[in-house]
Amino acid sequence: MLCLQEAFGPELPETIGHLRLAHATSANRLDLAVYYREERFADHECRTVSLKRGLHDMIAAPATERLVGVRMHDRVRDREIIVASFHAAPLTAMNSLRRNQIDAAHAALRELGEGLPTLMVGDYNYPLFQKRLSARIGLGGYDLTRSDKRTYSRYKVFRGHFDFATSSGMVIENIETLRKGISDHLPILVTASLKERAAAA
């Protein structure tokens, strides 16, 4: 699957190679989207979610919908999973707002399918105090996993792990930071498996 942030929605194609567009936001200046491989997955339900706004959103109006969640049927494992693309408020907002957005995003994904394995990937804009964040979301049954290298570096001041994954019911085997493209963030590649599979092994 492919989770995008800060995409230009009107130009998103229906397919990228073997990947098909499941759903994308439409109320943002910079949109979110989820693509999936049709021979492996079938999408059942998609949802865009508006989260609490910060001052930057009120002034510049860059984002209203900050979450795209997709409930998928895994044809190989014959079970349902949830995959989501997430983009938290920028650094002009306080960490308390981003924590609120993360909590609300997880709650919205539970509404898509309570107890289903869930993976939320994106730009969390949370480079500091991640241990505290990890402990907080752990109380809600989610794990936070960072990539192997920093995903953002600009002006020699703003740097760190901005992009990572939160998950429930899954084992994150690896998150690899890939080469920088035209985005100011480095993309990440998440390798995950269901916890029941890991237990069976």
Rg from Cα positions in the chain: 16
The torsion of the CA quartet 13, 19, 20, 24, rounded to 10 degrees, works out to: -70
- Angle (nearest 5°) at CA 194 between 188 and 197: 130
CA distance to 9, 62, 103, 155, per residue, from 192 (Å): 27, 31, 22, 33
Q: Helix and strand tally (H, E) in the chain?
A: 4, 14
Q: What is the pLDDT of residue 171?
A: 95
Model pTM above 0.95: no
Mean pLDDT, each 10-residue run in order, the chain (201 residues): 90 95 87 95 90 70 83 94 93 87 95 95 87 92 89 62 90 90 82 70 36
CA distance to 31, 32, 72, 186, per residue, from 82 (Å): 19, 16, 6, 24
Q: What is the pLDDT of residue 6?
A: 87
Q: What is the pLDDT of residue 166?
A: 96
Q: What is the pLDDT of residue 154?
A: 63
Q: What is the pLDDT of residue 199?
A: 41
Q: Name the 3-class secondary structure at 146.
A: coil
Q: What is the pLDDT of residue 57?
A: 66
- For 159, residues 6+ apart whose C-beta sits below 8 A from its C-beta are 127, 150, 152, 153
